[in-house]
Structures are given as structure tokens and as C-alpha cells.
Amino acid sequence: MSRTEIKDYGEFGLIHHLTKNIELQNASSILGVGDDAAVIDHFGKQTVITTDMLIEGVHFDLSYTPLKHLGYKSVIVNLSDIYAMNATPTQLLLSIGISSRFSVEAIEEFYEGVYAACEEHGVDLIGGDTSSSQKGFIISITAIGEATPEQIVKRSTAQKGDLICCSGDLGAAYIGLLFLEREKKIYLESPGVQPDLENEAYVIGRLLKPSARKDIHELLEEKKVIPTSMMDISDGLSSELLHICESSGVGCVIYEEKLPISEDSRNAAYKFEIDPTACALSGGEDYELLFTIKQDDYEKLTLIEKISVIGYITEAEEGAKIKTKGGNTYNITAQGWNAFKEG
């Protein structure tokens, strides 16, 4: 494949090249790419806005992250935050900083992933910026969503007696990262050795191509269940539970045996001789939804396989606890992802 240098296009030429085929999908997208600013109108609904920055070497490693997967994931991690507010994502702003080591074809591959995620979730890319970067690849995305005032769910409104629920399964993305980091280390030491990912497609896929839980958002709407609080699990279940408890002024109890951990994740964790429960509690990057519901809504969700009830909300003075399969009770501690932690 031939390589086209970004300097051959220039900033505005590159933007036009990457966005020329955009078709707006939402009525609220009045004006998109091509002017000084975009225009949106949510027709009386409230606007929900979130932003995320992803930096090469901190949030992703291009030695094992395909650019298309990176583009897809960059969108997904933002849309997950919109769904965590019980809102519907509608628009996206994307800014990137790129060095001369990237060709136009490489950036096109990244944008293929961006557009795939936008199409899957019915979101319009309406603007952004491109800039040169002296070191690595920098991505900044702002996602915009809409909801009626009564639909919006915060992390500060859980109440004593509420049930704690979680979508999907936990811990897989962290275990996938362990496999990829192990193979990268082996490759750097012995470049001739072929990577052996041991057929762990599930856990590696959960890291490289996560899902934003549009289906759970739609399911809650269909069942007429509005959570009393909600967050997405980006930094690990423990960290997110403590955020909800602190913001809501409550405590909680969860049960180890109730944590949703897939068989694939359990088996993969054992290869590293690590506890699958620890991966579920502290792993991060699962992008599942953690939410609380009133006990009256339990019957509406009890038979849904995608949702697990893992505990309940208590008084603040009771603290945040986990009851193990062996019958012991421990304090929940935040050991998940910390962007400013050394090492």
C-alpha cells in the first residue's frame, strides 16, 4: 500500500478528506462539520456532555492496539458515560494530535473505527480539530447526549435499601491486558518469537473492542425502570461503588458469589495465578453499567441474564463491604485505575 504524508494534505485538507462522507443522522444535528462551530437543538430536552482524553503510552499502546480498534474504543468510552447518565448519545466532537510517523492511510484506519462506533450508536460526528504532536498520538473526544429532566440519573441519589445491579461481566479487559503486556515483553526480549495469545479471544476482545451498553439503556427504558443512581465501570467496580457511596452519602454490601465473571475470564485469570474476583473488583475498562434500583423494580429485571443484582445500599456508617464466598466480610478499597499513579 502506498503511503500518503499528512503534510501533503495540510490540516484543512486532511479534515475534509476524513469527514467528506458524513451524513447526519439526528434531527437535533442542525449544522455539522464545515463551519466555525456546530449547531445542535435538543427541542426542550436537557443536554448531557462528557469529554475524555486518550494519550499514547498512558491509555493505549499501539504495539498491540490496531488503529481501527482504537478509533472504535475512543468513541465507546465516551458514549458509555452518556449511557451512565441514562441519556441517549447524539453528537460527537473529535480532536487528534498526530506526529509525522502517521500516514494519511493510518489515520483513515483510525477514523474507520470512529465511524463504525458512531453508526452503531446512531451518533453524528459534528466537528473537532487536528494538530501536530511532537510525541505520539493524542485523542480528545467530547460526546453530547439528550434526555428529559426526569430521565437523567446521577451518582449521588442512591438510597438505603436500593439494590445494586451490574450489566454484563467484569474483569475480562484487565486479564486481556495482562496477556498483551506479557507478549509485548516477550517480543521485546526475543523479536523472532511469535506471540501466543492462547486463544484468549474473549478477554483480549473485551480490552481492544469494548461495548457501550446501549442495549441496557434501552432495556431499562422498555421496562420503565429509572435507576436511583448510575455510573459506568471504567476504573474498576470497587472504585465506582465507592464513588456512588461517597456521592450519595450511603454504604453498601456486595456479595462475592453474585459478581458476574465469565467462565472465559476465570480460566484466563487462573493462567496468571490471580484471583478472578480481584480482577472484577479492581480491573477497570469493562465499561459495564453499575446502577441501583428501588426494591419495587426488582421483579422487572430479575429474569434478565444481562443484569446481575450483586448487593444492596446501607447506611453510610456501615461502610462499603464485600461478603466473601467463605463467609468473611471485608472493607471495599479502591485499587482500580488511577491516571496519576506512578508506575
- Please indicate, yes or no, if residue 337 is contained in any of the structural domains: no
Q: How many CB atoms lie within 10 A of CB 77?
A: 23
Angle between helices 263-271 and 172-189 (to 10 degrees): 40
Residue 327 sits in the same domain as residue 244: yes
Q: Is residue 43 part of a domain?
A: yes
Q: Cα(63)–Cα(89) distance, rounded to whole angstroms?
A: 31
Of the three residues 93, 112, 147, the one that is the final residue of a domain is 147
Answer whether residue 110 is part of any domain. yes
Judge if 129 and 256 occupy the same domain: no
Q: Give yes or no: residues 141 and 13 share one domain.
A: yes
Residues 244 and 126 in one domain: no
Give, for all 343 residues of the chain, the pLDDT tens digit: 678 886 777 656 776 776 777 788 888 877 766 655 667 787 888 898 998 999 999 899 999 999 999 999 999 999 999 999 999 999 999 999 999 899 999 999 999 999 999 999 999 999 999 999 988 899 999 999 999 989 999 999 999 999 999 999 999 999 999 999 998 998 888 877 777 777 789 999 999 999 999 999 999 999 999 999 999 999 999 999 999 999 999 999 999 999 999 999 999 999 999 999 999 999 889 999 999 999 999 999 988 999 999 999 999 999 999 999 999 999 999 875 454 455 4
User: What pTM, to 2 d.p., does this model score?
Assistant: 0.88
Among 147, 175, 209, the domain boundary falls at: 147
Evaluate whether residue 339 is within a structural domain.
no
Is 153 a member of any domain?
Answer: no
Do 125 and 176 reside in the same domain of the chain? no
Are 296 and 177 in a shared domain? yes
* Domains of the chain: total: 2
Which of 96, 112, 147 terminates a domain? The answer is: 147
How far apart CA 227 and CA 39 sit, in angstroms, is 31
Residue 59 domain boundaries? 6-147
Contact residues for 109 (Cβ-Cβ < 8 A; gap 6+): 66, 67, 68, 71
The string of pLDDT tens digits covering residues 277-324 is 999 999 889 999 999 999 999 999 988 999 999 999 999 999 999 999
Q: Are residues 176 and 309 in the same domain?
A: yes
Q: Is residue 186 part of a domain?
A: yes
Rounded distance, CA 299 to CA 202, Å? 31
If asked whether residues 73 and 97 sit together in one domain, one would say yes
Residue 227, in any domain of the structure: yes
- Are residues 292 and 187 part of one domain? yes
Unique residue bearing C-alpha cell 509525522: 100
Residues 97 and 233 in one domain: no
State the pLDDT at residue 36. 58
Q: If you search the block for the grid coordinates 467484569, which residue do you land on?
A: 170
CATH number at residue 93: 3.30.1330.10
For residues 323 and 254, the answer to whether their CB atoms sit within 8 Å is: yes
Domain for residue 24, yes or no? yes
